[in-house]
Amino acid sequence: MAARHDHATDPVLLAGLLQARHGTAFFARKLNELSDADLGAPSLLPGWTRGHVVAHVGYNARAIARLVEWAATGVENPMYPSLEVRNHEIDFGATLSPIALRNLFDHSAIHLNVEWRDLPADNWHHKVRTVQGRVVPAEETVWMRTREVWVHAADLDNGATFADIPTPVLARLLKDITGAWSARGTDRGLLVEVTDQPSALLFGDAGAESPVKVSGPLAAITAWATGRATAGVTASHGGGVIAPVPGAPAWI
């Protein structure tokens, strides 16, 4: 019998699926390095244990799978009934036993991967709606999952950092974040410079007369922009150094 394979044919989409699967494998590796007792320890996210992170990533796979099912059938299947239900689900998930948490992650990741694999090529363009209310093509679910697994692998606080995240993922994530700031107008007076790419990248309020400038390598800047860390990042204003580095605007 022939091996099962993705029905998607677009090379960009297939590359995105591969990046999401690599991220899922990376998260799984960092999770498997933790003992059961470790899951109750704090994560890098305030107020969340590692168990919260695992529960969130597991339930996120189920939620995204619902969107893929929506694209496959044409029957509306929201990610969550509400944000309140989503938050309650995560809090409940964090109370599960370690074996149940690990099974939640494993089984939900397999389920999502099967939904992606079996989605007909034409259905990837079908529109679905995210929990934030954005109407997007089903192919957007791949990026939604990619950023979840790579970023939250670092949140497990088990040795993974943003430097482990592939450059294309970091670059797209930073573009998303700075785009959200621009849409809300929360980047006024803020200029963000990525210093380690072939040519310096600038984001934020490029027209500001005297902006606060935050600079650093792509991985460090993206970690700062997500509110995770300030290591490797510097800030200046009017030629003078600002210390400590100011926090980034909210992006979610």
User: What pLDDT, on a 0 to 100 scale, did the predictor assign at position 238?
Assistant: 82
**Tens-place pLDDT, residues 92-119:** 999 999 999 999 999 999 999 999 999 9
Residue numbers in the chain where pLDDT is lower than 50 = 1-3
Q: What angle do CA 183, 248, 88 make, to 5 degrees?
A: 80
- Report how far residue 224's alpha carbon sits from residue 204's, in angstroms, rounded to the nearest whole number: 14
The pTM of the full predicted model, rounded to 2 decimals, is 0.93
Q: What distance lies between CA 57 and its chain's CA centroid?
A: 10
Does the domain at 167-242 match CATH 3.90.1570.10? Answer given as: no
Show Cβ contacts of residue 91 under 8 Å, excluding neighbours closer than 6 positions. Answer: 52
CATH class of 11-160: mainly alpha
User: What pLDDT, on a 0 to 100 scale, did the predictor assign at position 1?
Assistant: 34
- Report how far residue 116's alpha carbon sits from residue 13's, in angstroms, rounded to the nearest whole number: 11
- Please indicate whether the domains covering 11-160 and 167-242 agree at the CATH topology level: no
| Domain locations along the chain | 11-160, 167-242
Q: What distance lies between CA 252 and its chain's CA centroid?
A: 11
- Is residue 175 within 8 Å of 205, Cβ to Cβ? no
